[in-house]
């Protein structure tokens, strides 16, 4: 019987790179798709970020957040009300803020020093923006293994979150508190109950459709464990699930239904009071993405590997900030051809329509970067 729910939301928008043609190499060093970034950011900040944050506040819903550096930058450029809304929310005491890499990058899997540098940059940004020093950490797309948790521990964090993959939950109920091999508090995403909201909420073909707050509360209640980790994209509210699906009504009624069932909201830091159910070791990197829950969405196919190796090879460059934008994981995600069952999700997120076009464009940019900023 679970009496607690832990909401964690990922707030991330990349600074997308535009389609960059072959004949621009060495002539044009402007890589960003400003028009598209602005359009998407304005839409999402209005339809999702601001609206949802206000709703959480009005209804006393506690939640934990990570906000990437590329989101803060775009908010400062396009819509500062996003920052105001989060700031109000954190000041109210309802919210907890996590750290991640500033650039929402894959640095954790290729360069420890780079990884640490980007975490520090994020830490400074959170301090500067919200005057908060997070104690909890989440890596890009919940990419995790023992090595990553060691590095995170060495930076002074107390808690880390990752996916409750099938391999893990075979042995460990995701609704309990665990320890990493590095002795951090380790929380596991309950993917079934998370995806019920983030993926299936508006799916008419789902046999549980429509999902109502009282039904959902009853599922939580009867699930064994101490707390249920509901981790998802923040854009679930108002963007992936549009307002017309009733997602906001659902969210609004959750506290009422939870109250009836005596279910409480907790934050990541609040999970440490629960009993530790043992140490979990994860050797090969896992993530919360796709059906495989590994690194395949970013470096799964040969073209992604080629692009990733090229990106890494450019480390000794004269424009670190630009190189780090190029590291944002979305750039590699757009090159994914995935498994057929994941294609729908990939196409949804791919502004270039085809992973092959995205690849050529990205490689052209890396070539230009190579000629102009390398060495």
| Calpha distance 65→62 (Å, rounded) | 10
Residue 215: how many other CB atoms lie within 10 Å = 12
> Segment near another protein (CB under 8 A), from 94-102, 162-170, 236-244, 356-364?
356-364
Tell whether residue 314 is a contact of another protein (CB under 8 A). no
304 touches another protein (CB under 8 A): yes
Residue 144 phi, psi dihedral angles, 5° rounding = -155, 140
Asked whether 16 and 351 are in contact (CB, 8 A), the reply is yes
Catalytic: which of 10, 100, 141, 257?
A: 141
Q: Does 350 interact with another protein (rule: CB under 8 A)?
A: no
Q: Which helix (H) or strand (E) holds 166?
A: helix 166-169
Give the pair of three-digit tokens for residue 32: 């960003």
Q: Specify the residue, 29 or 305, whose C-beta has the smaller distance to another protein.
A: 305
- Return the number of the residue (270 or 351) whose C-beta is nearest another protein: 351
For the bound state, the minimum distance from the C-beta of residue 307 to another protein, rounded and expressed in Å, comes to 7
From candidates 22, 76, 256, 279, binder to another protein by CB under 8 A: 22
Q: Is the dihedral of CA 89, 91, 95, 100 positive or negative?
A: positive
Nearer to another protein, 19 or 125 (CB): 19
- Catalytic residue at 243? no
Size, binding site for another protein by CB under 8 A: 18
Pick from 306, 317, 319, 351 the residue near another protein by CB under 8 A: 306
Distance CA 5, CA 373 (A): 48
Choose between 255 and 355: whose C-beta lies nearer to another protein. 355
The smaller minimum CB distance to another protein, of residues 89 and 333, is found at: 333
Q: Does 337 engage in binding with another protein (CB under 8 A)?
A: yes
Whole-angstrom distance, CA of residue 308 vs CA of residue 310: 5
| CB 348 to another protein: min, Å | 14
State whether residue 281 is helix, strand or coil. Answer: coil
Q: Minimum distance between the CB of residue 343 and another protein, rounded to whole angstroms?
A: 8
Paired sense of beta strands 228-233 and 264-266, if any = unpaired
Pick from 88, 218, 305, 373 the residue near another protein by CB under 8 A: 305
Query: Least distance (Å) from another protein to the CB of residue 360?
Result: 4
Per-residue string for binding with another protein, 264-303, x by CB under 8 A? -------------------------------------xxx
Min. distance of Cβ 64 from another protein in angstroms? 37
Q: Is 50 in the site for another protein (CB under 8 A)?
A: no
> What is the distance between the alpha carbons of residues 60 and 93, in angstroms, rounded to a whole number?
10
Give Cβ neighbours of residue 182 (< 8 Å, ≥ 6 apart): 146, 149, 150, 152, 153
Distance CA 33, CA 325 (A): 12
Cβ distance to another protein smaller for residue 289 or 363: 363
Place of tokens 């109000």: 88
**232 phi/psi in degrees, rounded to 5:** -160, 170
Cα separation, 252 vs 61, in Å, equals 9
Residue 221 or 305 with smaller CB distance to another protein: 305
Which positions are annotated as active-site residues? 141
Interface residues toward another protein, by CB under 8 A: 21-23, 301-307, 337, 354-357, 359-360, 363
């Amino acid at each position: 019987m679970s009496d607690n729910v832990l909401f964690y939301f990922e707030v991330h928008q990349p600074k997308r790179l535009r389609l960059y043609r072959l004949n621009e190499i060495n002539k044009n060093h402007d890589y960003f798709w400003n028009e598209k970034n602005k359009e998407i950011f304005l839409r999402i900040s209005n339809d999702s970020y601001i609206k949802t944050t206000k709703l959480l506040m009005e209804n006393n819903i506690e939640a934990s957040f990570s906000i990437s550096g590329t989101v803060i930058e775009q908010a400062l450029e396009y819509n500062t009300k996003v920052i105001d809304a989060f700031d109000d929310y954190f000041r109210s005491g309802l919210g907890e803020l996590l750290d991640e890499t500033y650039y929402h990058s894959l640095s954790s899997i290729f360069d420890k020093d780079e990884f640490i540098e980007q975490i520090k940059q994020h830490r400074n940004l959170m301090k500067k923006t919200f005057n908060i020093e997070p104690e909890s950490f989440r890596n890009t797309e919940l990419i995790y293994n023992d090595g990553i948790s060691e590095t995170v521990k060495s930076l002074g964090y107390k808690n880390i979150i990752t996916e409750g993959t099938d391999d893990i939950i075979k042995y460990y109920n995701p609704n309990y508190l665990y320890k990493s091999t590095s002795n951090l508090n380790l929380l596991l995403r309950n993917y079934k109950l998370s995806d019920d909201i983030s993926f299936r909420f508006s799916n008419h073909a789902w046999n549980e459709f429509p999902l109502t707050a009282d039904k959902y509360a009853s599922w939580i209640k009867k699930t064994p464990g101490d707390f249920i980790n509901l981790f998802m994209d923040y854009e679930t509210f108002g963007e992936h699930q549009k307002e017309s699906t009733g997602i906001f009504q659902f969210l609004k009624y959750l506290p009422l239904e939870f109250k009836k069932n005596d279910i409480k909201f907790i934050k990541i830091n609040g999970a440490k009071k629960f009993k530790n159910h043992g140490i979990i070791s994860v050797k090969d990197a896992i993530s919360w993405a796709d059906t495989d829950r590994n690194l395949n969405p970013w470096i799964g196919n040969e073209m992604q590997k080629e692009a990733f190796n090229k990106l890494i090879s450019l480390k000794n460059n004269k424009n670190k900030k630009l190189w780090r934008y190029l590291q944002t994981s979305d750039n590699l995600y757009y090159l994914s051809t995935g498994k057929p069952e994941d294609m729908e999700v990939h196409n949804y997120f791919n502004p270039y329509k085809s992973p092959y076009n995205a690849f050529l464009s990205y490689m052209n940019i890396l070539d230009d970067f190579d000629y102009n900023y390398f060495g």
